[in-house]
Structure 1
Amino acid sequence: MNHITMSSEALMEKPMNGKCRCRTQSWYIVLISFLLWFTLFYLYSSSITFSKKGDSFFGNHHMGFVDSSESFHDVVREETGDSSSHVKDINVGDNVEEANNDGDEIDQVIASLMSEDNETQSVETISGKENEDKLSKEEVNTRDEDKPIDLSSMKGKRKEAVAKQKGTENVSQLRREENAEDRTVDSFPIVKSRRDRANRPRRRNRNKSVDSSDPVMEKRIEKVVVEPRRQNVLRARSDSTSCSGRYIYIHNLPKKFNQDLLDNCRTLSFWTDMCECASNLGLGAPLPSNEKLYSRTGWFATNQFLLEVIFHNRMKQYKCLTKDPSVASAIYVPYYAGLDVGRYLWDPDGFMRDYDAVNLVKWLASRPEWKKMWGRDHFLVAGRINWDFRRDPKNESDWGNELLNFAESRNMTMLVIESSPWNYNDFAIPYPTYFHPSRDDDVFQWQNRMRRLKRRYLFSFAGARRPNLRESIRDEVIDQCLASRRKCRFLECNKSQKCHNPVYLMKLFQSSVFCLQPPGDSYTRRSIFDSILAGCIPVFFHPGSAYVQYIWHFPKDYTKYSVLIPAGEVKSGNANIERILQRIPREKRVAMREEIIKLIPKVIYSDPSSRLDTTEDAFDLTVKGVIDRVETVRNQMREGKQVNSELDEEESWKYFTFGKLGIHEWDPFFSSKPGKRGR
């Protein structure tokens, strides 16, 4: 007994191999029990988690996705714990549908405010209700299938559904977070255009990213997209504010009225290569470099009869164009009337001269745009003087065609390089010059250069005699210039082509303080605008040469920028041009020259391939004048008044120049109409 007891105690005191058998077996039992308990706890916890989602553990084949019946604010509240600080409560079933309708209304506003030619970034919205309906059908089909759960395939189907709904090939590449409860809503992503979304780097939230295929993200994007669209509307309204009341619609005329004439440019003139003149959008060939006379860029050999082509190309760059004639303040008719009639001016057959003009007014009168105001909101640019379009209807062999005599034309605003003082439906705009800048700095530099010039001659004249015109004062002007060789310089234009070479003209005008501008075949001359471009003060002999013509471009006070010497005084020998000009004080000359230099931007047409930023040129002032005139006529029609009923057409020059009728000191100048003359 003692031996046995001692052996047992010894065994208890000294374990075999340094270990105790009983303790080892106990640890095995504890470990196995712990693992069994952990497994049961894990299964139990998982079952509760899935049951909270509203589905059984074994019956849910789309676990982890939010049920489509959940509202957006519930989802966000579940994610963040408080949705009030980030989003407003929106019900997916009802209010999201209203938000989408809001977007449709905004689209209509954008379409009505902005020109269809302007490029705008489009913002796409996702209709949450329709997407969820499609996805719920797929989920039902998945439940009916006894297949293992394949989350990746389900995600792929959802991406395809979203892509079809959005109308794009790819959906956003944002990845879906595994645990929606861990996400924070610090800020919503800004939905931009399709191009921006494609180029935008993937946005990560800390260590995890979000997949847009997640219904939560779809609803979030859907909610956020409303605000950028409204910002775009505000931006569109801001841009449209500058165009309010200035929209212009361009008629899409048959090509025979414009482009076909340029395509057949060889037939436009017997004496001039009009193909070369019509190049460079109507500007002509660039002038050879001559830094003594020109600036470095913007100078072209521009023909004076190409204004309608230049104007049309400028109009294509006009920032307030619209394709909706119902919102247009004025409607432009791009008919090259001057090029058309120029082909037949010396043709005794009046039928050919009138053929295209007659077809044009018939085409216009048949259009629905015409019937809105019966053409009183239409305007047309003809690059010749008005007499080329006012043939006596009783005399077919008379000069020109009848474009300005048609009843339809008398409703339109007709823009010509010289208007008739006795008719109210045509208005004069400047002749094109040789200078067509493409930048504001080009204009400013040229003006400063004209200020610094030293002018050797008191006055000058470039032209030729008119022996066949009894009323012309050309002979008297030339004789007085030749008698004052030290004070006057004369450039003969009859025996040579120097007057058609801008080098000789610009050299003459830049060296003179005053430039004489007597009437020639008609009241106006292109030389008027070439001399203004050179900073030379014009001297007129008839108010019809400028004062009653370019009412949108020249100051009303003609004494600020020019000198008027009555032609009758020169014709009778009672006026000595040199003495009259010498009596003008030096300070007055400087002020007049400065006024002329300020007029330079107003009498030039900038390069049609560009647009000046801050400077208004002759085109801009013309468009303003047309829109103001059309608005005046529109108001008269609204008030039930007869258009232009308050003025005598024979005295229309007074009304448009001074805004009133009655006796005026210039009445003797306009007591009779001049005969219609050729070139």
Structure 2
Amino acid sequence: MFLSRKHRSNAWLLVTVALKWGVVVVWTREETPHHDTRLPQSDSLCEKLQYMSEPTMCDASKTETLLTGMYTRNVHNQDQNIKLNTAKKIPKVYIYSLPTRFNKDIETCVNYDAQPYLCLHLQNGGLGKFIYREGEMGVFYTNQFSLEVIIHNQLLQSRYRTLNPEEADIFYIPAYLGVYFFCRWSTTIEQLQNEMFDIIDAMPYFRQGKPHISTLAKIEREQAASDHPLLQNEKCRDVTYLVIEKEAYAWYRKFLGIENQRVIVVPYPSYVHLYNTKTASQSISSPGLESRQLMIFVAASDRRTNEFRNIIMDQMPHKVVDTTYEKFVEQVQAQGKDTPTQVILTTTECRPGHENITIGWMQKSVFCLQPPGDSPTRKSFYDSIQSGCIPVIFRFADQNVEYPFQRVLNYTEFIVTIDSERIERHEQIRDILEEIPKDEVHRLHQNVLKVARMLQYSVIESGDQPRSYRDALDMIMEEVQDIYNI
């Protein structure tokens, strides 16, 4: 159940991380106010936010750079310019060869052909059914719970893999035990997990305390619940799990007995996966603000999951189902009406149709709202980033929501955060977003384009071709290196 929370005033004092390619930031805690500069009032969206103009980027001292194998941190103030360099080697990952009942058989069990109601399309290495391609961007019917299959296949084809366990820095356990929840075989998760650890224990590396990682398809708390107590096994404490969401309530993690469980929060698998382009820049190619005619967009089901979400949904005056942006504009104009600038696209789970058009809508939008549903985070957050649409999240005082790679990525540089109390007071989201100066909107949009590659799982092509950018797998490996000091 979603709980109501009070305002939290903590924000972040930025500390720029200057690295070899592109842009990224880290930060330290500080009290800082939210945006409070209002724009002049106008009836025209372009006049209000002046998106048709293309202002220059902000002060170079605030320009962030993307990660490479070398970390360089720059701290800028009037009197100092400190650089800390730490070289990182490419870690070697050994993938255990487990019997197929721990992975491939589970994939077959939950795949769309076996259980269509789950809409788990797992072909193409877990990316799902191919839909269309625009330049380097591939759009696939990717399910949010496909992470175990994706990571396994990505590592199999990666530069990180070694077939020699003696030279491995990291050991990967390719068990699809999170998505096993949907199989309902007679074998319990406890039995299957014990069998898995017995196999791993037959080799010396787990007992030797070597770094071991694995992946969980569903959010953390659902992997420790009574109906799927995967994380209740004490041996899990010696494994670092890649998860799409870490439980946001510290008290509940303690209640579940997993307060000491190591996890790395990684991106939800989105619809978008990039093809390898050796000449690609760190910034993705995406429509500019002048081409984005919608100010506010939401892609969400029509389930009224909680009161807070309901308030947000009720502020969206135009609801669309299974219609492209272009068709919608045509219909509105045929009625002699102005094109709306706030739209919600109904994306009923497992109902076909919206997977073909969601990214197109986001590419026409400036801000993409991310209201919480059954849990604080959403797959749509990552769809919006890959579409160049600035995510808008909502902050609750009693939650500690962790986002991927926030050790090195400062999310305040490319998302908008609105305190929940403002929405609970029924302030209009449009009014809040119109407070943001045009230069800041442009800066946020540019930074979204710069971080997008690091928050997606690239298309697996023939062999492991060299890339000119970091993607989510590279970021994950650097997080593992940091945890284990590799």
Equivalent residue of 2:207, what SS?
A: helix
Q: Is 1:247 aligned with 2:74?
A: no
Of the candidates 309, 313, 336, which is equivalent to residue 153 of structure 2? Answer: 313
Query: Letter of the aligned partner of 1:561 in structure 2?
Result: F
Q: Equivalent pairs: percent with the same residue? A: 27
Aligned to 1:479: 314
Equivalent-residue separation in structure 1 for 2:396 and 2:203 (angstroms): 39
How many angstroms does 1:478 deviate by? 1.0
Closer/same/farther in 2, CA of residues 502 and 264 from structure 1, 3 Å limit = closer
Letter in 2 for 1:599: V
SS of the equivalent of 2:284 reads helix
Match of 1:418 in 2: 245
Number of the residue aligned with 1:388: 222
One-letter amino acid of the counterpart of residue 326, structure 1:
E
Structure 1 residue 608: Cα displacement = 2.0
Cross-structure match for 1:116? none
Displacement of 1:547 in angstroms is 7.9
Question: Could you report, residue by residue, the CA deviation over 1:464-498 in whole angstroms, capped at 9, with x for unpaired residues?
Answer: 344454xx411100111228984311112349936
Residues 1:625 and 1:567: Cα distance change in structure 2 (over 3 Å)? same
Q: Relative to structure 1, is the Cα distance of residues 243 and 462 closer, same or farther in structure 2, using a 3 angstrom cutoff?
A: closer
Aligned CA distance change for structure 1 residues 379 and 582 (closer, same or farther; 3 Å):
same
Distance in 1 (alpha carbons) for counterparts of 2:295 and 2:449: 17
CA–CA distance in 2 between the matches of 1:495 and 1:426? 27
Contact 2:283 2:450 in 1 (8 A): no
Instruction: Assess if the C-alpha contact under 8 Å between 1:417 and 1:429 holds in 2.
Output: yes
Match of 2:206 in 1: 370
Mark the runs of 5 or more structure 2 residues left unpaired by the alignment: 1-86, 251-258, 320-338
Supply the AA of the counterpart residue of 2:342.
C
CA RMSD of aligned residues (A): 3.2
Q: Distance in 1 between matches of 2:393 and 2:287?
A: 21
How far off its partner does 1:301 sit? 1.9
Name the residue aligned to 1:428.
265
2:124 counterpart residue number? 280
Q: Mind listing any 5+ residue stretches in structure 1 that lack a counterpart? A: 1-241, 392-397, 633-679
Secondary structure of 2:485 counterpart: helix
Instruction: Flag the 1:607–1:270 CA change in 2: closer, same or farther, 3 A.
Output: closer
Letter in 2 for 1:604: Q
The code of the aligned residue for 1:473 comes to: F
Aligned residue pairs total 368
Task: Summarize deviations over 1:374-432 as a string: whole Å, max 9, x none.
Answer: xx6100012221122111xxxxxx4x411122111122101111112433422211011
* Structure 1 Cα separation of the partners of residues 139 and 303 of structure 2: 31
2:471 aligned with 1:617: yes
Is 2:459 aligned against 1:607? yes
Q: Does residue 256 of structure 1 match 2:101?
A: yes
Of residues 273, 279, 292 in structure 2, which corresponds to 1:455?
Answer: 292
1:522 to 368, 371, 375: 375
Does the Cα contact within 8 Å between 2:110 and 2:183 map onto a contact in 1? no
Encode CA deviations 1:68-90: one digit per residue, 9 max, x unaligned.
Answer: xxxxxxxxxxxxxxxxxxxxxxx
In the other structure, the counterpart of 1:577 is 429
> 1:425 and 1:408 mapped to 2: Cα distance?
12
Question: Corresponding residue for 2:117?
Answer: 271
TM-score by length of 1: 0.50
Distance in 2 (CA, whole Å) between partners of 1:432 and 1:546 is: 23
Match of residue 70 from structure 1: none
Q: CA deviation at 1:296?
A: 6.8
Distance 2:232 2:287 in 1: 42
> For residue 358 of structure 1, what is the aligned residue in structure 2?
194
User: Which residue is 2:230 aligned to?
Assistant: 403
Partner Cα separation in structure 1 for residue 182 and residue 196 of structure 2: 16
Structure 1 pair 539–363 and aligned structure 2 pair: CA distance change class (3 A): same
CA pair 547-269 structure 1, distance change in 2 beyond 3 A: farther
Cα shift at 1:352: 2.6
How much has 1:312 moved relative to structure 2? 1.0
* Cα deviation, residue 521, structure 1: 1.0
Paired with 1:441 and 1:501, the residues of 2 have a C-alpha distance of: 31
Q: Which amino acid in structure 2 is aligned with residue 271 of structure 1? A: Y
For the 8 Å contact 1:380–1:412, the answer to whether it is kept is yes
Q: Does 1:497 align with 2:355?
A: no
Q: What residue identity is the alignment partner of 1:628?
A: D
Question: In the aligned structure 1, how far is the partner of 2:104 from the partner of 2:456?
Answer: 24
User: 1:544 deviation in Å?
Assistant: 10
* Structure 1 counterpart of 2:366: 513
Q: Which has the larger radius of gyration?
A: 1
Deviation at 1:319, TM superposition (A): 1.8
- 1:23-45 superposed Cα distances (whole Å, 9 cap, x missing partner): xxxxxxxxxxxxxxxxxxxxxxx
CA distance in 2 between counterparts of 1:629 and 1:280 reads 30
Q: Which has the higher strand share?
A: 2
Q: Which has the higher contact order (CA 8 A, sep 6+)?
A: 2
TM-score (norm 2): 0.68
Q: Residue 335 of structure 1 aligns with which residue?
A: 175
Q: Deviations along 1:491-526, whole A, 9 cap, x unmatched?
A: 12349936x623321122111111100111111111
